[in-house]
Structure 1
Amino acid sequence: MPTAREIMTPDATCIGAKETVLDAAKKMTELGVGALPICGADERLKGMLTDRDIVVKVLGSGKDPARVKAGDLAQGEVVTIGADDDAEEILRTMSRHKVRRLPVIDGHVLVGIVAQADVARALPDPKVGDLIESIST
């Protein structure tokens, strides 16, 4: 069974907790992604920021994305996966927390992201179908 390190997208780009949501949106556009990890000055993962967060929590609330800091949207404990955890643990974690992306950490260092698409490419169809169903319900 492959590990997170083997199926992740490496070199995840963080948005700094003190950078604005507008900066994050520009970075997402530039990278062609729908989510960015939020990292603090200490390089530790603080949360995940999604394009949906920007629309619902900032724009939909009438807030100015040039004034809201990415770190202001980091909530609760971040759901992560260890770099050497196997695909079964990835499936369990994604299903349990109903997330489509998992930051991959090695110790406390962010080393990549495992997205639903990475899982789909790496695992047999029935397992992927089960994951998508559990996330979607």
Structure 2
Amino acid sequence: MTDGHSHRTARDLMSQGAECIPAHETLDRAAQMMRDSHVGALPVCVDDRVTGIITDRDIVIKCVAEGRAPSAMRAGDLVVGLVSVPVDATVEEALQLMEEHQIKRLPVMADMRIVGMITEADLARHLPDDQLVEFVHRVYMDA
């Protein structure tokens, strides 16, 4: 990116597409989907509408570590809200949301549907080093 990176949008940063897991699916199924897709997070959907995302860490901390069975908990049980960004949001807006909510993955939406996800790997590919370092510091160090 150049100094004029403010013209870039969430669409420019995101990885295309994101496979959703229905809210009624179990966490063991979510873990299998993450494994098979080589991702650490999945959007959770109800009737093709994203209601939030769950991460591999959510499954470990909020299910396994509490002695619950992943086969007995549903993906929707872990969703606490959706933080997302529209495709035309600026890079700065996307970074600000991620920093403000201390999240490392951000769903990108168009017409109320998920079209992609901004991840740390996407940021590493697209941001200048100084901006990436600042983001990492704010999300990890201020947590």
How big is the shift at 1:107? 2.4
- In structure 2, give the amino acid aligned to 1:129: V
Q: 1:44-123, aligned counterparts within 5 Å?
A: 44-75=49-80, 77-123=81-127
How big is the shift at 1:94? 0.9
Tell me which stretches of 4 or more aligned residues in structure 1 moved more than 3 Å.
Answer: none
Q: Could you tell me the percent identity over the aligned residues?
A: 41
User: If the length of structure 1 is used for normalisation, what is the TM-score?
Assistant: 0.95
Residue by residue over 1:77-129, the C-alpha shift from the partner in whole angstroms, topping out at 9 and shown as x without a partner, is 31101111111111111111111000000121100000121112111111111
Tell me which residue corresponds to 1:19. Answer: 25
Q: 1-side partners of 2:61 and 2:100: how far apart?
A: 23
Which sections of structure 2, spanning at least 5 residues, go unmatched? Answer: none
Q: 2-side partners of 1:19 and 1:84: how far apart?
A: 31
Q: 2-side partners of 1:49 and 1:118: how far apart?
A: 19
Which sections of structure 1, spanning at least 5 residues, go unmatched? Answer: none
- In structure 2, give the amino acid aligned to 1:66: S
SS of 2:98 mapped into structure 1: helix
Q: CA RMSD in A?
A: 0.9
How big is the shift at 1:55? 0.6
Q: 2-side partners of 1:88 and 1:59: how far apart?
A: 36
Q: 2-side partners of 1:66 and 1:35: how far apart?
A: 18
